[in-house]
Structure 1
Amino acid sequence: MTHHPRLIAVLAGAVVLTLGLSGCVSAFIPKAAPTTSTPTGEAVDSALAPFYGQVLQWSDCDNEMQCATAIAPLDYSDPGAGEIDIALVRHPTTSGDRVGSLLVNPGGPGASGYDIVKNSLDFVTDDVLQSSFDIVGFDPRGVGRSSAVTCYQPEQMDEYLYGLTTAARGTDAWIAELEASSADFGAACAENTGPLLAHVDTESAARDLDLLRAVLGDEKLNYLGYSYGTYLGATFAELFPDKVGRLALDGALDPSTTNFQVTELQAKGFESALRAYLEACLVGEDCPFSGTVDDAMNTVGALLASVDVSPIIAGDGRQLGSNALLTAIITPLYQQAAWPMLSQMFAGVMTNDVTAAFGLADQYNGRQADGSYLDNSSEAFSAINCVDYAYNDDPASMRAQAAEIETAAPIIGKYMSFGDIGCANWPYKFSGERGEIHATGAAPILVIGTTNDPATPYAWAQSLSEQLDSGTLVTYEGEGHTAYNKGSDCVNRVVDDYLVKGTVPSEDPMC
């Protein structure tokens, strides 16, 4: 049996943004909301004109929202080579003071912007934005209800995500097992997805953003992107600086980082967040740990090492190994409000009860209680990352990088290394060049960073805001991943004023 170590290259936003959510939004649609769009009618290349000139047909859907489907080119370098669907949902403005459309991306890559807007509108936007914009969620190419990546049936996904290796971690035999598992997964994705698999890169998705902007009738793009969504938004700004309206990028990625640098910094970030959790736990109630913070960190390390060698069997027969336990640990670290779930999970694992651990790992992976998967977020996550970064399959290089990651994060780093294996032999290779994004000529762009964000470290927000010629940094001094609409009145006020009025802070407000 083999286990594919889930790439922690960028945030699986589908889990983060649904963590702890319940119910649906209470929304209303003004009777006057038009049922068709009015494209901008701007001049574009003749091959793209039919796409930019299409009229969206909005229909009522659940939660008093409106839904539509746009058509985009499969390949922007050859628009006549085929078409794909882009699924959209919108919540029309609740007032007469409409600014325009606000497109929202929750991250991932692989997270559904359609679902987050349709089911949890109040989590990603506040009343101020809802009264000023038509809030538009969309599934990027390869994701969810849009033309989507398809790889495995649920039983195969279980084996791919939760299966265990027979060889010891880090050995040649262990690497070979993972390489075989990843090769099988990539081949299945290629066979079941078809030509789309070669065109799920972020640059293509950013070109879709421009297409959606024009089809919705907006001369400039107004956009709120979380986590990976910040990279998508920044890529749009680089490609179309003259079409930038107001872009708020929360939980920023540094576009110039390599896959290894992403993993190393995230390992440090999650270890820092784990330490912060333990500090709070040890002075609180119902904490399963004792002693100092260092003692507790060592206990976590011992638990990971123990299940790496001797997995714990769950009631459904699955075995909790170190990779699944790591996923269970990092999932609640995305939001401070979820830390009590971490205490419950650790208490269970310490007594060989892994129900809560699998519950958290399943939430991260989108696995439901009946063994089915909620969406294709895990498959899209891999497919998009594999064509967005360069990877190497040299064991010596991977071992050297693994040593660096473990030095940076002594407790969990060991279990976040060797991530290149998953994409090194992917059917389609990264063809671009990772580098800084300047978006020369773009209107001011807001970049929001949280000082102890484990998934997108604060240093990335600092870096992106400096790279962008018109970048402005907004710092939130706190815990958790992303800051807007998470309880900071300061952050909300700055972001709302920027998106609604175009007001750019003269200096970092240090919220």
Structure 2
Amino acid sequence: MFGQTGRKHRRLMGSIALGAVTSFLLSGCVLIQELQGTGQREYSAEELIDADLDPQLREFYEQDVEWSECPAEYAVGEKFECATVEAPMNWDAPDEHEPIELALIRLPAKGESQGALLSNPGGPGGSGIDHVGQSSSMFSKKLRENFDLVSWDPRGVGHSSAVTCYDDEGTDEYLYGVPENAADMTPEQAVSYQIKKSTEYGAACLKNTGPLLEYVDTNSTVRDLDMLRAVLGEPKLNYFGFSYGTDIGARYIDQYPDRVGRITLDGATDPTVGGFDMVIDQQTKFAESTRAYLKDCLSSQACPFDNVGGVDGAIMQIQKMMNEVDDQLPKHTDGRVVTSSVIQQAIVTAMYDESTWELLTQAFTLWKDNRDATMFFMLSDAYLGRDTEGHYASNMFDAFTAINCLDMPLETDKETIRKYNAELNEVMLFKDAEMAEAMAEIGDITCETWPVKSKVEELKPVKGEGAPPVLVVATSNDPATTLEWAEAVAEQLESATLIVYEGEGHIAYDEGNPCTVDAIDEYFVTGKVPESDLTCKPE
């Protein structure tokens, strides 16, 4: 969820995200038909909408959803259906701005539908359109049989009313660009360059996005989600959240406990963990995952590292490689500069899923044998949504930044920042002593220079008083959303049961472990939860 930090040239690159936006007023007694053609019953407006809802907001809750063929640009099959609905830009002052648009996608159930199962893939900034339209196979046959899979691009994201900052060329320069005099910069000059670069980026985001930039916070998205529940004709919300999508779900449980149906939070984030602590936790876990990868790699004859000194020896070899590219700044075949930043992002990307460790090994082998950075860039680009032509398929990085800067309190206390940087330097695998010293009193540069400041002063736990049973799921060695976060969320929520899959990688459900998948599927289809917290082991 937050960027890695490292050597001087990595700081020049900016923060890289872990781990990628016609209302119809109906009378109160009219029947709002749920998803057409599913054979489900209809619910009255009284069953779908709270009686005390502000009349100005009611029209958004009562708008029709007109499903039709998905736009060609979505690149999904004929079996999918799409729609667009409206939401107020500012839920607290709906008349202040023109409404925004939210893009939806639906895959109708193969069998008799129990209704809509909404989901969010995480990020923040991940596209729900892509999630369901291009990755629906991650949902089990049982879920696809019993539910209409529905998702949406949250406000600020993708095909909805979206955050817009730079074009492809500008994004490339922001994420991968290195100034010509980078090798000669002092650490202090590098910091000044990064501050200037971040300031210009934020200004471009505000100019090209407009007032929406102030309203892409997660609490606004939670209110959007409750509206979507109603317009889809669902008196209760069935929801499957992954990674940051669990933050949306947990906040929904807390704010709308009486509207909770069956909700699963896989790869849960702890809403009480601030930005600095989140980075420390993630860097600790990514370091552990990298060590696990290197241990696995060194057990193979194909491993490109000299097996001298074990895992620590391999780490030293990678550090030497990073130092060399930062000193030499070689160019890749496409003209981009190879830096420690690119190598670091490739490592981070591979740690999200154990199945991609082999690709990382190939990347190190190519570089060792031929000084070929193709696989390093491929892994980094895959995370950031960049294709081989330099086109960014989504605005994930921009939305990620905008949402995070609104959701987290901004820490400016110098002593706190110094302690944070000291601890960060301790837990990171790859270090630069000179840059660490120059950054000692530098906090979150991106959010410090962001043109819209967070209004959040305190991070609060979620409780969900009175909500029916929900599931919180974790992978024991998840580097992006730690097990400790999931345990904290399960403890905070009054009605949560915790499922832990003992394994590597981010998110448990897509590992396909029968123990994990069967328990989650059974819960969604029947409402049955495990009798107690459940631990699932690899087969």
Q: TM-score, normalised by structure 2?
A: 0.86
User: 2:522 maps to what in 1?
Assistant: 497
Q: Distance in 1 between matches of 2:462 and 2:327?
A: 43
Alpha-carbon spacing, 1:227–1:80, altered in 2? closer, same or farther (3 Å): same
1:132 pairs with 2:146: yes
Aligned residue in 2 for 1:430:
454
Segment drifting more, 286-295 vs 245-254: 286-295
CA shift in 2, pair 1:113/1:201, >3 Å: same
* Matched position secondary structure for 1:340: helix
Identity of aligned pairs, percent? Answer: 41
Q: Does the 8 A contact of 1:449 with 1:476 survive in 2?
A: yes
Residue deviations 1:97-138, cap 9 Å, x none? x22211010000001011110111012x11111111110011
Question: Which sits farther off after the overlay, 159-168 or 51-60?
Answer: 159-168
Q: Which amino acid is 2:82 matched to?
A: C
Counterpart in the other structure of 1:196: 212
What is the letter of the counterpart of residue 80 of structure 1?
A: D
The equivalent residue for 1:477 is 502
Answer yes or no: is the 8 Å Cα contact 2:12–2:191 preserved in 1: no
Cα pair 2:263 2:471 within 8 Å, conserved = yes
The yes-or-no answer on 1:77 pairing with 2:95 is no
Structure 1 window deviating more from structure 2 (383-392 vs 49-58): it is 383-392
Q: Quick one: distance in 2 between partners of 1:459 and 1:293?
A: 25
Moved more, 387-396 or 310-319: 387-396
Amino acid at match of 1:358: F
1:363 to partner: Cα distance: 1.1
Give SS of 1:89's match.
strand
Number of the residue aligned with 2:284 = 268
Match of 2:158 in 1: 144
- Supply the distance in 2 between the matched residues of 1:7 and 1:355 (Cα, whole angstroms): 19
**Given the alignment of the two structures, is residue 358 of structure 1 paired with residue 358 of structure 2, yes or no?**
no
Equivalent runs, 1:195-274 vs 2, <5 Å: 195-274=211-290
CA contact (8 A) 1:3 1:160 kept: no
Select which of 105, 108, 121 maps to 2:120. Answer: 105
1:158 corresponds to which of 172, 182, 202: 172
Equivalence for 1:22: none
Aligned pairs (5 A) from 1:180-191:
180-191=196-207
3-state DSSP of counterpart to 1:358: helix
Aligned length: 490
- Mapping of 1:44-83 within 5 angstroms? 44-61=53-70, 62-63=76-77, 64-81=79-96, 82-83=98-99
Shift of 1:282: 1.0
- After superposition, what is the alpha-carbon deviation per residue over 1:437-491, rounded to whole angstroms, capped at 9, x for unaligned? 1122211121101111111111111111111111211010000000003220100
1:236-279 per-position Cα deviation (integer Å, ceiling 9, x unaligned): 11111111111100011111011111111111111111111111
| Change in 2 beyond 3 A, CA 1:168/1:409 | farther
Normalising by the residue count of structure 1, what TM-score does the alignment of the two structures yield?
Answer: 0.91
Instruction: Measure, in 2, the Cα distance between the counterparts of 1:491 and 1:161.
Output: 37
How far 1:168 sits from its partner (Å)?
7.7
**Shift in Å at residue 3 of structure 1?**
3.1
CA drift of 1:227 comes to 0.4
CA shift in 2, pair 1:289/1:201, >3 Å: same
For the Cα contact (< 8 Å) 2:19–2:348, is it kept in 1? no
User: Unpaired runs of 5+ in structure 2?
Assistant: 1-8, 21-34, 71-75
- Which 5+ residue runs of structure 1 have no aligned equivalent? 13-29
Name the residue aligned to 2:421.
402
Secondary structure in structure 2 of the residue aligned to 1:144: coil
Q: Tell me: CA distance 1:372–1:393, structure 2 relative to 1, closer, same or farther (3 Å).
A: farther
Judge conservation of contact 1:222–1:247 (CA < 8 Å) in 2: yes
Q: Which amino acid aligns with 2:404?
A: N
- Which residue among 299, 309, 313 is the counterpart of 1:295? 313
Aligned partner letter, 2:478: D
Match in the other structure for 1:122:
137
Deviation of residue 411 (structure 1)? 2.9
Counterparts of 2:186 and 2:523 in 1: how far apart (Å)?
48
1:445: which partner in 2?
470
Letter in 1 for 2:116: S
